[in-house]
């Protein structure tokens, strides 16, 4: 398993829209994070796929976290938040190809009723912000209060003996073709379902009409067809049996 060096994934301070990533939250995460408690995974653009082989499947895991004061540069004195990742091959391939090379952390402010902040995920993104300011967004998916921190540049270690280069443009074209085929199949199934629902509607209307006719016949004929069973074995002129 490949483990990265420490990567700075967030910096405490004011965000681009005026909110704050507090030092306390980053410290709480550093003190409390454990894969055994809750394993934070890596997701492309924070999107979680429900399919294990989908386009937005997990790209790896967060192995360790820590905080450390930045000693130099424009961010000197600020508290940095660092992670070690265990990237899957898909993420390694993307980074080699110059895609999704920045990180953005997902912070749950009050995790599992503990009242403390926790790292619940890391996004791999191509929308980085300035290192001096962060972008914090509320998740529009499952966790409405989860925070997305500043995406910052990340360097991922490659394997010691990487295999030969692949034709990524061809792979991407194949993925696009597969996606197009899936969409076409879905549209075809949607059309068939629409036709089926139309036929079911016609059948329901026909059954309702038939039921109405049967009721009308029953109401019209009521009392006309009666069966009289004599009390004796003898049928007289005054007794009749309707069949």
If asked whether residues 134 and 209 sit together in one domain, one would say: no
Query: What pLDDT is recorded for position 158?
Result: 53
- From residue 92, alpha-carbon distances to 45, 59, 154, 189 in Å are 16, 9, 12, 36
Q: Which of 5, 34, 36, 46 is catalytic?
A: 46
Cα Rg of the chain, angstroms:
34
Q: Is residue 84 part of a domain?
A: yes
If asked whether residues 23 and 127 sit together in one domain, one would say: yes
Q: Which of 17, 49, 127, 206 is catalytic?
A: 17
Q: Is 231 a catalytic residue?
A: no
Q: Which of 61, 88, 104, 146 is catalytic?
A: 104
The rounded distance, in Å, linking the Cα atoms of 4 and 84 is 5
If asked whether residues 64 and 124 sit together in one domain, one would say: yes
If asked whether residues 83 and 126 sit together in one domain, one would say: yes
Domain interval for residue 217: 166-222
β pairing state of 79-87 and 102-108: unpaired
- Residues linked to residue 20 through DSSP beta bridges, in sequence order: 14
Query: What pLDDT is recorded for position 93?
Result: 87
Residues belonging to the chain: 243
Q: Is 104 a catalytic residue?
A: yes
If asked whether residues 22 and 90 sit together in one domain, one would say: yes
Query: What pLDDT is recorded for position 196?
Result: 84
The rounded distance, in Å, linking the Cα atoms of 4 and 9 is 13
Question: Can you tell me whether residue 126 is helix, strand or coil?
Answer: coil
Q: Is 22 a catalytic residue?
A: no
Of the candidates 44, 51, 43, the one whose C-alpha atom is nearest the C-alpha of residue 178 is 51
- How many domains, in total, are found in the chain? 2
Query: What pLDDT is recorded for position 51?
Result: 80
pLDDT-flagged residues of the chain (< 70) = 15-17, 128-178, 218-243
If asked whether residues 52 and 101 sit together in one domain, one would say: yes
If asked whether residues 150 and 69 sit together in one domain, one would say: yes
Query: What pLDDT is recorded for position 8?
Result: 87
């Amino acid at each position: 398993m490949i483990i990265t060096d420490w990567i700075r994934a967030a910096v405490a301070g004011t965000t681009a829209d005026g909110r704050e990533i507090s030092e306390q939250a980053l410290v709480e995460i550093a003190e409390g994070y454990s894969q055994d408690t809750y394993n934070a995974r890596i997701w492309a653009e924070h999107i979680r796929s429900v399919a294990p082989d989908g386009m937005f499947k997990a790209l790896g895991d967060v192995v360790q976290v820590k905080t450390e004061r930045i000693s130099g540069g424009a961010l000197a004195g600020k508290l940095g938040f660092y992670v070690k990742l265990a990237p899957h091959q898909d993420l390694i391939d993307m980074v080699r190809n110059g895609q999704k090379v920045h990180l953005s952390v997902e912070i749950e402010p009050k995790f599992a009723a503990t009242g403390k902040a926790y790292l619940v995920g890391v996004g791999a993104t191509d929308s980085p912000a300035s290192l001096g300011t962060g972008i914090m967004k509320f998740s529009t998916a499952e966790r409405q209060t989860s925070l997305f921190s500043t995406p910052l540049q990340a360097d991922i270690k490659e394997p010691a003996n990487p295999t030969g280069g692949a034709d990524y443009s061809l792979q991407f074209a194949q993925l696009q073709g597969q996606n197009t085929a899936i969409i076409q199949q879905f549209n075809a199934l949607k059309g068939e379902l629409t036709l089926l629902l139309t036929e079911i509607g016609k059948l329901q209307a026909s059954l309702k009409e038939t039921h109405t006719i049967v009721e009308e016949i029953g109401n019209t004929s009521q009392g006309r067809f009666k069966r009289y069973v004599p009390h004796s074995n003898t049928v007289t002129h005054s007794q009749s049996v309707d069949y």
